[in-house]
């Protein structure tokens, strides 16, 4: 279906939704009226997600992210309203309902800490919305998290893992937009919702794919307010990095300002922010190379990898009417990074410099059409640019398990992406039903210049070679093969030289459209049924029949809802990634062609060697959106003093997962075997032959009613097995799936999470963010392409008496060649990673002066990786290589920074 037909259909559906919302408005009957109002803090900033009870009713109202609320139709008169919000004192005020009633506006005082236990009665019990690791982070919680955008993002990803998903893979959205972008500054955030009900038809991805973080920003303020801030970190404050030969000059400087206030009183407002971050950091190289005489030489070096980031944002809010709010935002960031890709066994010459920028313009319109009906429309447009400049344009040099040198294979990359997003939602409450339905539209346009492989790549994988003493043949490593090549010794030729030719420019347009409806049906006061349906379609490739039903049940056996049981299940569909389609289009033999030259002459590989093999991508088969079925069984209980405990079990089953395969490999597991389609041709194809299954367990406890201590802690256990880690994953043997079912490369089997905040004397705060995860799996390979399929992922076999070469390893006695039982995929496991971050902060109220009421000065001292734990990222997995079984890359060591913020 052409793109214009998709857009026309989307606009038509959006129009129907808008007309439907307008038609659904209804007026109250005589002597009944609707009341509206707003809740603010002492500075005039509107408070989102405050709760209101009218005349002590069990029914609770919530303020929107603009700090406003709307009641249902009420008899004209005066009511008592109790207002409660995290971090503020509970307040009770009068609310007038009826013709001529004055506008309701209330300001809450900041909570004063004076006791350890909240004596407020328990009136609401367990909320059925906060399940399976769900959390709402308010201003106090957010203030204790990292100021640095990268560290802040990592901490949010840790919290999202409580939904039973892959660590670090959570989707982060801002203000309801589906197309994720840069995280806004902490000070601009009103609240963060971590892991809403991911089984709702509103959401596309199942929880096992990584969870979800929804960020909502603050509206403008009724008075002018602003802040100046800085963060400083010097080399003497930071620990030496693991594997580093010496302490490097590591540091960070961060500066910024914010300003917000009214444009027209009670009508329009604005907010501006600008931030600059300069980081002096180093990549640590830990590799093994050869010196001029051909002797193995360890390389340990600090390579400067500075980063420079600019972020700016502008927000404009306009109240078209008391029930119609328009918001427009513009954000931009420019990120410059040097010597990327360097570190571990990658030498400095193989790095690249990159400049990345993103600009986003978004408009949202929220209409409160009636007491029971809300309509929201969001339109966003995003520009993304990326330019990569290689340090060297020489051919890439890959010596199996020892080092990677030469030029980076990606070359001079230029990427230009434009995204158009349109969302239209209606939210309606009717009787015992809460209905949300909507349309989501995302149009992605990619225009890239990707000369990947155009500089050529030498691969030294090792293998059989003449013995230098003339006693026959022996099996040598890639590093030995490289040594013999440099010294012109027998067996001294590269295993392969790969080069890509053709046109680097390639483009793609992909449109995704979704219709969804979700109904929360309160069958009984303690029994709720959730029904949903999500239907998705896309082009490039065109796939339409993706209808995913969702079902949920929540039941509490006791009247106070101290215990709640949850049962949910849903069918999910994952979009075919546009990068997959782009990769298939590139290597089609017309735009680009790759040539594999076996045993070439080093330095003049073209027109030499024993054979030349062409590598292409076969046309895409009829790909569909990837389906998965996920179910959830959970129970939560509220113990005395609000100790809230929960246990959740997820059951995962996914199929038709996209992976790659050579459909024309040599037969007989031998490079000299006959190819079934065409001689001297590697024909790679994206296929939906992968699968994944297993379960995920999450057990958690949280405490938020103690005045001086707040706790959130949890344990995640993932037990998943699959045979496809990504779209570009190849099985060891294109003709067999033996040994491929294993832990996914992103699975940390065990994970511990703990976030705490403690209020110290004199108003100081001390917070801890702790995360410990068992190591990710890694593959053990021979470094050879034994079967000649063009992919260097062959795994060793268990050695037998006749094996010519045997290595005694932690996995048993292994041989890089021979027949028999192969070692399973992802047999290795990295060491545990442990992160402990802390923040000590104190805010001082400054003396009042004319025109400067409400000034404050906040200071903080923050540390990441306080324990200075060696968090290993890579272990040598090439059998027989000098780094085999050794850790050679890790996260940075302890970092300390001090911050200062003046607010006015």
Q: What pLDDT is recorded for position 756?
A: 92
Q: What pLDDT is recorded for position 479?
A: 95
Q: What pLDDT is recorded for position 307?
A: 94
Average pLDDT over residues 115-139: 49
Q: What pLDDT is recorded for position 22?
A: 40
Q: For strands 457-460 and 496-502, give the pairing.
A: antiparallel
Q: Can you say whether the dihedral through the CA atoms of 733, 734, 736, 739 is positive or negative? A: positive
Q: What DSSP string runs through 379-395? A: EEEEEEEEEEEES--SP
Q: 753-788: per-residue pLDDT in tens? A: 999 999 898 889 999 999 999 999 999 999 999 899
Residue scoring higher pLDDT (25 or 412): 412
* Cβ atoms of residues 340 and 307 within 8 Å: no
Quick one: pLDDT band at residue 207, thresholds 50, 70, 90?
confident
Q: Which of 79-88, 470-479, 683-692, 702-711 has the highest mean pLDDT?
A: 683-692
Q: Which helix (H) or strand (E) segment is 588 a member of?
A: none
Quick one: pLDDT band at residue 217, thresholds 50, 70, 90?
confident
Residue of 892, 887, 894 lying closest to 867 (CA atoms) = 894
Q: CA–CA separation, 780 vs 795, rounded Å? A: 6
User: Euclidean distance between the first and final Cα of the chain, in Å?
Assistant: 55
Q: What pLDDT is recorded for position 708?
A: 85
Average pLDDT over residues 894-900: 94
Q: CA–CA separation, 29 vs 169, rounded Å? A: 50
> Percentage of the chain with pLDDT > 90?
58
Q: 833-847: per-residue pLDDT in tens? A: 999 999 999 999 887
Q: What DSSP string runs through 247-297? A: ----EEEEEEEEEEEEEETTTEEEEEEEEEEEEE-EEEEEEEEE-TTS-EE
pLDDT at 881 over 50: yes
Q: CA–CA separation, 749 vs 760, rounded Å? A: 36
Provide CB contacts within 8 A for 698, sequence distance 6+: 132, 133, 162, 163, 164, 646, 647, 648, 650, 714, 715, 716, 717
Q: CA–CA separation, 717 vs 307, rounded Å? A: 36
Enumerate the β-bridge partners of residue 901: 229, 858
pLDDT at 535 over 90: yes
Backbone angles phi, psi at 197, to 5 degrees: -65, 95
Q: 661-695: per-residue pLDDT in tens? A: 999 999 988 888 999 999 999 999 999 999 999 99
Residue scoring higher pLDDT (148 or 132): 148
Q: 166-200: per-residue pLDDT in tens? A: 777 888 888 889 877 678 877 778 888 888 889 99
Enumerate the β-bridge partners of residue 435: 428, 519
CA gyration radius, the chain: 30
Q: Which of 132-141, 422-431, 527-536 has the highest mean pLDDT?
A: 527-536
Residue of 491, 485, 487 lying closest to 458 (CA atoms) = 485
Q: What pLDDT is recorded for position 616?
A: 95
* Cβ atoms of residues 714 and 700 within 8 Å: yes
Long-range contacts, stretch 185-188, CB < 8 angstroms, 24+ apart: 185/256, 185/258, 185/273, 185/275, 185/311, 185/313, 186/142, 186/143, 186/145, 186/147, 186/152, 187/227, 187/258, 187/273, 188/217, 188/218, 188/258, 188/271, 188/273, 188/313, 188/315
Chain-wide mean pLDDT for the chain? Answer: 86
Provide CB contacts within 8 A for 830, sequence distance 6+: 775, 776, 777, 778, 872, 873, 874, 875, 887
pLDDT at 102 over 70: no
Global pTM value: 0.84
Average pLDDT over residues 622-632: 93
């Amino acid at each position: 279906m052409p793109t214009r037909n998709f857009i026309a259909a989307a606009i038509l559906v959006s129009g129907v939704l808008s007309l439907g919302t307008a038609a659904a408005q209804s007026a109250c009957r005589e002597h009944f009226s609707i009341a509206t109002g707003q809740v603010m803090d002492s500075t005039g900033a509107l408070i989102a997600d405050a709760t209101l009870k009218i005349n002590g009713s069990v029914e609770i109202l919530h303020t929107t992210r603009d700090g406003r609320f709307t009641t249902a139709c009420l008899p004209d008169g005066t009511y008592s309203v109790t207002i409660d919000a995290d971090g503020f004192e509970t307040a009770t005020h009068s609310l007038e309902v009826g013709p001529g009633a004055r506008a309701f506006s209330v300001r809450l005082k900041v909570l004063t800490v004076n006791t350890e236990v909240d004596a407020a009665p328990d009136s609401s019990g367990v909320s059925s919305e906060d399940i399976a690791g769900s959390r709402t982070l308010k201003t106090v919680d957010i203030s204790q998290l990292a100021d640095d955008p990268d560290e802040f993002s990592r901490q949010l990803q840790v919290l999202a893992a409580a939904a039973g998903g892959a660590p670090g893979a959570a989707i982060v959205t801002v203000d309801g937009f589906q197309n994720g972008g840069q995280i806004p500054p902490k000070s601009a955030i009103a609240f963060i919702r971590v892991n809403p009900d991911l089984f709702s038809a509103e959401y596309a991805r199942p929880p096992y794919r990584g969870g979800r973080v929804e960020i909502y920003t603050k509206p403008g303020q009724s008075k002018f307010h602003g802040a100046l801030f800085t963060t400083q970190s010097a080399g003497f404050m930071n620990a030496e990095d693991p594997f580093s030969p010496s302490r490097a000059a590591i540091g960070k400087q961060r500066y910024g300002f914010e300003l917000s206030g009214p444009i027209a009183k009670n009508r329009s407002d604005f907010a501006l922010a600008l931030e600059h971050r300069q980081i002096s950091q180093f990549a640590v190289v830990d590799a093994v190379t050869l010196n001029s005489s051909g002797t193995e030489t360890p390389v340990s070096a600090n390579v400067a990898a500075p980063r420079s980031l600019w972020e700016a944002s502008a927000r404009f809010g306009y109240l078209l009417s008391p029930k119609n709010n328009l918001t427009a935002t513009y954000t931009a960031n420019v990120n410059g990074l040097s010597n990327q890709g360097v570190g571990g066994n990658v030498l400095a010459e193989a790095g690249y410099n990159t400049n990345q920028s993103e600009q986003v313009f978004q408009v949202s319109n929220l209409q409160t059409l009636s007491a029971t009906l809300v309509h929201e429309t969001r339109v966003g447009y995003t520009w993304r640019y990326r330019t990569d400049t290689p340090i060297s344009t020489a051919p890439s040099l890959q010596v199996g398990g020892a080092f990677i040198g030469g030029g980076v294979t990606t070359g001079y990359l230029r990427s230009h992406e434009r995204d158009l997003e349109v969302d239209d939602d209606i939210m309606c409450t009717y009787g015992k039903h809460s209905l949300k339905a909507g349309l989501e539209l995302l149009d992605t346009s990619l225009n890239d210049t990707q000369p990947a492989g155009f500089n050529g790549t030498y691969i030294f994988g090792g293998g059989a070679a003449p013995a230098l003493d003339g006693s026959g043949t022996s099996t040598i490593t890639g590093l030995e093969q490289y040594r013999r090549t440099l010294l012109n010794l027998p067996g001294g030729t590269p295993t392969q030289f790969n080069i890509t030719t053709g046109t680097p420019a390639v483009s793609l347009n992909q449109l995704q459209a979704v219709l969804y409806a979700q109904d929360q049906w309160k069958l009984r006061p303690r029994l709720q049924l959730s029904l949903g349906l999500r239907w998705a379609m896309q082009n490039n490739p065109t796939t339409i029949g993706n209808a995913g039903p969702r079902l949920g049940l929540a039941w509490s056996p006791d009247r106070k809802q101290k215990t709640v049981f949850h049962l949910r299940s849903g069918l999910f569909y994952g979009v075919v990634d546009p990068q997959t389609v782009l990769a298939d289009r590139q290597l089609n033999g017309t735009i680009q062609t790759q040539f594999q030259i076996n045993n070439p002459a080093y330095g003049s590989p073209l027109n030499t060697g024993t054979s030349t093999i062409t590598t292409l991508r076969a046309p895409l088969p009829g790909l569909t959106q990837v389906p998965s079925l996920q179910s959830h069984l959970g129970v939560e209980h509220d113990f005395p003093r609000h100790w809230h405990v929960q246990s959740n079990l997820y059951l995962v089953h996914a199929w038709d997962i996209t992976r790659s395969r050579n459909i024309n490999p040599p037969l007989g597991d031998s490079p000299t075997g006959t190819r079934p389609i065409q001689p001297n041709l590697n024909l790679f194809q994206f296929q939906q032959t992968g699968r994944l299954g297993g379960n995920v367990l999450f057990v958690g406890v949280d405490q938020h009613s103690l005045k001086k201590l707040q706790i959130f802690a949890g344990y995640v256990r993932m037990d998943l097995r699959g045979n496809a880690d990504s779209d570009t994953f190849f099985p060891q043997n294109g003709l067999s799936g033996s040994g491929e079912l294993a832990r996914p490369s992103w699975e940390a089997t065990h994970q511990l999470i703990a976030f705490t905040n403690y209020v110290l004397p004199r108003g100081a705060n001390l917070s801890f963010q702790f995360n410990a995860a068992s190591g990710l799996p890694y593959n053990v390979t021979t470094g050879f392409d034994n079967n000649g399929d063009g992919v260097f992922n062959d795994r060793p076999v268990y050695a037998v008496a006749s094996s010519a070469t045997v290595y005694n390893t932690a996995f048993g006695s292994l041989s890089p060649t021979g027949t028999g039982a192969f070692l399973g995929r992802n047999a290795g496991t990295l060491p545990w990673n442990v992160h402990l971050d802390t923040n000590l902060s104190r805010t001082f109220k400054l003396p009042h002066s004319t025109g400067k009421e409400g000034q404050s000065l906040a200071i903080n001292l923050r540390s990441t990786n306080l324990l200075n734990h060696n968090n290993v990222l890579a272990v040598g997995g090439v059998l027989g290589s000098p780094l085999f079984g050794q850790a050679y890359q890790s996260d940075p060591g302890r970092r300390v920074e001090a911050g200062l913020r003046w607010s006015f």
